[in-house]
Structure 1
Amino acid sequence: MVGSSAAGDDDLSWQLLPIRDDLAAALQDWRAWLRDERRLSVHTCRAYEGDIADFMGFMAGHHGGQLALTHLAAIDLGSFRSWLAARASDGATAATRARNLSALRSLFNWLDKTDRAFNPSIGQLQAPKRKQPLPRAVSRLDAKDILDRAEELAPEPWIAKRDRALLTLLYGAGLRIGEAVALNRSAMPSKPENAAIVVDGKGNKQRQVPLLPVVVEALARYRTLCPFPDTPDAPLFYGAKGKRLNADAARKVMRQVRQSLSLSDSVTPHALRHSFATHLLGADVDLRVIQDLLGHASLTSTQRYLDADIERLRAVYAKAHPRAKG
């Protein structure tokens, strides 16, 4: 939109920006402060300058003339958000927009500290949320090895069946670890045919999840050996001391298993849930069905699995296609 230059180019003035002399001088001083006081890298300085140049050009377009320091103090929250929205429309990622906001905060905080301009709206801006990367799905063979090794590593027979049942439930039904350990005995179906459980998910939203025969069988074997009460209000998964198994203890089991199998640190209980969704998607199960099974409030959350699968297919295609090999 407007030009900028690398930090350290002393002959750079902000001549290409539609700004008045007082603001140009302030920006020059801010640049020097970034370089000499903050000692930011040349790359970061250049990025910040480009961000501010774009912002000034955007605001000048809305203002309809040259900007002065007094104009910066009067910019409202909506205008800041409009610029960030425009950056998103131009294709800026959440990470880039987070840096855009860092540049704005740096400039406006410096203007405030040097008594040049104060804008209260800048403190109300929130950084865009970055998408958390999905864990890598485990292969079907690795999933089987995980279940077998969990049983082998357990210190007692009933704990061996518990650990296998728990991990089978995560992989075979796509539960979150917190959802699984919160289950009571009453959640278990009375008949193995067409078995399903009712899960209390995020936001206290309930969903019904069908259970595969292998899951029902693993749970039944565990319940047969479990030495603690089997009343309806009792926890489904007990810890070694007879209290409800907590999520951290379950994560510890998974950590021991993956270390024993020399698997990646990304192999966590949540990775089993992710693998459940990924393998269903690979079997051409409808995305909305997967959404219901996972308990996602929005299809957008489930869409991430499709995006990840497309990336996987693209990588496989690029590796296998003869043209990709030059």
Structure 2
Amino acid sequence: MKQARVLTDQEFKRLLAVVAQGKHAGRNRLALMLSHFAGLRVGEIAALAVQDVLDSDGKVREQIRLRAEITKGGDARVVFVGEKLRREIERHRAEWPQERPAAAPLLLTQKQTAFSANTLCQLMAQLYGQAGLDGASSHSGRRWFITRLAHSGVSPKVIMTLAGHKNLTTTQRYIDVRDEMMKAAVELL
């Protein structure tokens, strides 16, 4: 089975520019950022509630605790919120016309209901398509996250834990390798 395309920096910027021009730009941008900057699966993103990302004072949490029932492997895990993602969550929250209950979905459809994993998957495919990114899918952000961590020298064990994988071989399959990366590696010698 062919893997989802990992975007280059330029392609990621193009995607965000296309999203900015569309309807529901803030919501769609946050969905993509949760995928790219937290490595979340589309089903995990769709299942997030306001209380998962905001504390009782309305501040963005430093960690998102994914409940076992929303993860693929059925094991709860912690996702750390970096500065870029924190700013994105704050930006999205500022767009809300009114406060949302803690148990409300973080991302709402145009009918103001929770996304299903399938519907969010279709939305992401549509966004990638509008940006002209053939081969990209809802899993592209997750692969981008894992690849970027690996190429930044992060320990494989840390990446595996952040991704919620039980086996390192699973994590390794996500890492994208390109010619320029191999050339740069050889130049280190």
**Offset at residue 133 of structure 1 (A):** 4.0
Shift of 1:188: 1.0
**Structure 1 partner of 2:12:** 143
CA deviations on 1:97-120 (whole Å, 9 max, x unpaired) are: xxxxxxxxxxxxxxxxxxxxxxxx
- Report whether the alignment pairs 1:134 with 2:6: no
Match of 1:197 in 2: 64
Structure 2 residue matching 1:186: 3-state secondary structure: helix
Deviations 1:2-39 (CA, angstroms, capped at 9, x unpaired) = xxxxxxxxxxxxxxxxxxxxxxxxxxxxxxxxxxxxxx
Distance of 1:259 and 1:202 partners within structure 2: 26
Cα distance, 1:168 vs structure 2? 0.8
| In structure 1, distance between residues paired with 2:124 and 2:45 | 14
Equivalent-residue separation in structure 1 for 2:96 and 2:9 (angstroms)? 28
Residue 164 (structure 1) aligned with residue 33 (structure 2): no
Could you tell me how far apart the structure 2 residues matched to 1:258 and 1:136 are? 10
Q: Distance in 2 between matches of 1:219 and 1:267?
A: 23
Q: Distance in 1 between matches of 2:36 and 2:180?
A: 25
Tell me how far apart the structure 2 counterparts of residues 164 and 261 of structure 1 sit (CA, whole Å).
13
Equivalence for 1:208: 78
Residue 188 in 1 paired to residue 57 in 2? no
- 1:217-249: CA deviation from partner (whole Å, max 9, x where unpaired): 111222222346511111111111111022333
Aligned pair count?
179
2:46 aligned with 1:173, yes or no?
no
Match of 1:295 among 148, 153, 164: 164
Taking CA–CA contacts closer than 8 Å with sequence separation of 6 or more, which of the two structures ends up with the larger relative contact order? 2
CA contact (8 A) 1:170 1:273 kept: yes
Q: Kindly report structure 1 stretches of 4+ aligned residues shifted beyond 6 Å.
A: none
Judging by fraction of residues, say which structure has more helix: 1
Give the structure 2 partner of residue 220 of structure 1. Answer: 90
Query: Kindly tell me: are residues 232 and 296 of structure 1, through their superposed partners in 2, closer, same or farther at Cα, counting changes over 3 Å?
Result: same
CA distance in 1, matches of 2:3, 2:151: 16
Where in structure 2 are there 5+ consecutive unaligned residues?
Answer: none
Letter in 1 for 2:19: A
Q: What pairs with 1:1-326 in structure 2 (closer than 5 Å)? A: 132-154=1-23, 159-190=24-55, 191-192=59-60, 195-200=62-67, 201-227=71-97, 230-264=100-134, 266-306=135-175, 308-309=176-177, 312-313=178-179, 316-317=182-183
Q: Hey, what's the Cα distance between the residues in 2 that align with 1:289 and 1:313?
A: 25
SS at match of 1:259: helix
Native 8 Å contact 1:150 1:164 kept in 2: yes
Query: How far 1:315 sits from its partner (Å)?
Result: 8.7
Corresponding residue SS for 2:73: helix
One-letter code aligned to 1:247: A
Compute the TM-score of the two structures, normalised by the length of structure 2.
0.83
User: Amino acid of the residue matched to residue 218 of structure 1?
Assistant: E
Q: 1:214, CA displacement in angstroms?
A: 1.5
SS of the residue aligned with 2:139?
helix
Offset of 1:182 from its aligned partner? 0.3
Q: Which letter maps to 1:289? A: V
Q: Deviations over 1:271-317 (max 9, x none)?
A: 111011011111111111111111012222112235x53xx359954
For the aligned residues, what is the CA RMSD?
Answer: 2.4
| Deviation readout 1:152-207 (Å, 9 max, x if unpaired) | 121xxxx2111111111110000000001101111014344x71111232232111
The structure-2 alpha-carbon separation of the partners of 1:316 and 1:204, relative to structure 1 and needing over 3 Å to count, comes to: closer
Contact 2:50–2:102 under 8 Å retained in 1: yes
